Amino acid sequence: MQSFLAPQRLLLGPGPSAVHPRVLRAMSTALIGHLDPIFLGIMNDIQTLLRRVFATTNPFTIAVSGTGSAGMEAAIVNIIEPGDHVVVGINGVFGTRLATIIERCGGNAIRVEVPWGQVIEPGSIAEILQRSSPVKAVVLVHAETSTGAWQPIEPIAALCREYDTLLIVDAVTSLGGMPVEIDQWGIDVCYSATQKCLSCPPGLAPLTLSQRALSVLKARRSPCPSWYFDLSLIADYWAEQRRAYHHTAPISMIYALREALRLIDEEGLPARFSRHQLNSRALIAGLMALGLSPLPPPDRQLPTLVCVTVPAHIDNEEAVRAELLRRFGIEIGGGLGPLKGKVWRIGLMGESSTEANVLTLLNALEEIGIRSGWVSTPGAGLQAAAHTYSVGR
């Protein structure tokens, strides 16, 4: 069997994103023990850097071993117990997944559903909080990866404080690419993933808990149903004072995350957020010039993931994506669930969010569109994007 050599790909799908060479080099660092004092110091570095990205002073800020779905499950199974009432916003795949996990924990998932591409309005949450039994938590997806919708958090966070309800937020496709203000907004539990805007390979899930959430965790009526994701046990491994063994940490991934977070720190969050915003605006302008309209309303479009509807005159959207991959080495994502075959999901996250990548994708789409007959004005997409860059700097 021959050794594997990965093909060159431009990763512009919903994840993973491109990874900086420094992060890849960090992964090749020699292994040391996961309880080695030097490695524990690396864990301390990660906690410090994660607090900056989460904009929090929460002592309990860690990286769970596993992908973003591991962070999702850890957040829910530790907070929700049988019989708890939980309001969950559903406007895409991941709100639906959250409701499923809540119900598997024995919780009562009170679904607030809106059409995919829309967001959950505060009034809908307020109505339920006013008329329902005591609600343990409200759960929202900040950046819905399946639709490109940007969910406002602050107004609903204020409602959670008013009704003494925890707020759990999925920031998988937002952390590191757009503001996630844990302390300022009043989020109690928030999780993310390394392979999106943090531009680190998949395998860790950043997670932070407020003191309110920790109090709820400590007051559980029953043990957490998951041993691996039991945060009361994992906390002892990440706590600087104890460092009790729980499981073998993914050492190379910890190296990688530390370097990815250092890159974010060097760039600075304001500059990073501005970069994502500008590249997203330019891409949307170019796509619209090609006849592709964003699914979410203009004020609810993510700067990290652009979801556009595929016009009816493109009769085989999957063939376009396949040609992008085969001829140009560019990966973009298709739709999920009821959006399958109807949308394209284009990620501009972390290292993938560059002007060069935006223009490369638009150029490739124009070429395919001209040859297939659904682009009639050569250069329209590129010109629209270039104009956005010229006035946006």
What single string gives the DSSP state of each residue in 91-145? SSHHHHHHHHHHHHTT-EEEEEE--BTB---HHHHHHHHHHSSPP-EEEEESEET
Please list, in sequence order, all residues whose beta carbon lies within 8 angstroms of the beta carbon of residue 96, skipping any fewer than 6 positions away: 90, 337
- In 3D space, the residue among 111, 130, 92 whose CA is nearest the CA of residue 343 turns out to be 92
Please list, in sequence order, all residues whose beta carbon lies within 8 angstroms of the beta carbon of residue 155, skipping any fewer than 6 positions away: 122
Collapsing DSSP to helix, strand or coil, 235 comes out as helix
Confidence of residue 338 (pLDDT cuts 50, 70, 90): very high
Q: φ, ψ for residue 60 (rounded to 5)?
A: -85, 85
Give the pLDDT confidence score for residue 144 in this predicted structure. Answer: 98
Whether residue 243 is predicted with pLDDT greater than 90 in this model: the reply is no
Give the pLDDT confidence score for residue 73 in this predicted structure. Answer: 98
Average of pLDDT values for 144-161? Answer: 97
B/e letters for 114-146, b = 16+ CB within 10 Å, e = fewer, are bebbbbbeeeebbebbeeeeebbbbbbbbbbbb
Q: For residue 38, with 0-12 CB atoms within 10 Å meaning exposed, 13-18 middle and 19 or more buried, which class applies?
A: exposed
Q: CA–CA distance from 95 to each of 102, 195, 335, 378 (Å)?
A: 11, 19, 16, 40
Task: Domain ranges for the chain, please list them.
Answer: 21-266, 268-392
Whether residue 336 is predicted with pLDDT greater than 90 in this model: the reply is yes
Give the pLDDT confidence score for residue 248 in this predicted structure. Answer: 87
* Mean pLDDT, rounded, of the chain: 96
Long-range own/partner contacts, residues 334-341 (CB < 8 A, 24 or more apart): 335/146, 336/92, 336/93, 336/146, 337/92, 337/93, 337/96, 337/116, 337/146, 338/116, 339/116, 339/146, 339/147, 339/295, 341/310, 341/317
Give the pLDDT confidence score for residue 240 in this predicted structure. Answer: 66
244-266: per-residue pLDDT in tens?
788 889 999 999 999 999 999 99
Average of pLDDT values for 287-304? Answer: 96
Give the pLDDT confidence score for residue 206 in this predicted structure. Answer: 98
Collapsing DSSP to helix, strand or coil, 48 comes out as helix
Q: Do residues 34 and 271 make contact, with C-beta atoms less than 8 angstroms apart?
A: no
Q: Do residues 330 and 10 make contact, with C-beta atoms less than 8 angstroms apart?
A: yes
CA dihedral 64, 52, 350, 207 (to 10 degrees): 20
Give the pLDDT confidence score for residue 356 in this predicted structure. Answer: 98
Average of pLDDT values for 344-362? Answer: 98
Helix residue ranges, H only, the chain: 21-27, 37-54, 68-79, 93-104, 122-131, 154-162, 182-185, 211-218, 231-238, 251-267, 269-289, 317-328, 355-372, 380-392
pTM of the model: 0.96
- In 3D space, the residue among 346, 281, 344, 284 whose CA is nearest the CA of residue 314 turns out to be 344
CA distance 63 to 207: 6
Largest separation between any pair of C-alpha atoms in the chain: 66
Give the pLDDT confidence score for residue 237 in this predicted structure. Answer: 83
Please list, in sequence order, all residues whose beta carbon lies within 8 angstroms of the beta carbon of residue 16, skipping any fewer than 6 positions away: 195, 196, 201, 202
Confidence of residue 133 (pLDDT cuts 50, 70, 90): confident
CA distance 59 to 52: 12
Give the pLDDT confidence score for residue 241 in this predicted structure. Answer: 65
Q: Which fold has domain 21-266?
A: Aspartate Aminotransferase; domain 2 (3.40.640)
CA distance 353 to 256: 19
Whether residue 214 is predicted with pLDDT greater than 90 in this model: the reply is yes
Give the pLDDT confidence score for residue 14 in this predicted structure. Answer: 97
Average of pLDDT values for 42-46? Answer: 95
And the tokens for 103? 């119900």
Q: ω into residue 225 within 30 of 0, thus cis? A: no
CATH no. for 268-392: 3.90.1150.10
Give the pLDDT confidence score for residue 245 in this predicted structure. Answer: 80
Whether residue 141 is predicted with pLDDT greater than 80 in this model: the reply is yes
8-41: per-residue pLDDT in tens?
999 999 999 999 999 999 999 999 998 898 999 9
Average of pLDDT values for 106-124? Answer: 97
Q: What percent of the chain has pLDDT over 90?
A: 90
Lowest mean pLDDT among 102-106, 111-115, 347-351, 376-380: 376-380
Confidence of residue 238 (pLDDT cuts 50, 70, 90): confident
Which residues, listed in sequence order, are joined to residue 65 by a DSSP beta bridge? Answer: 204
Average of pLDDT values for 100-109? Answer: 97
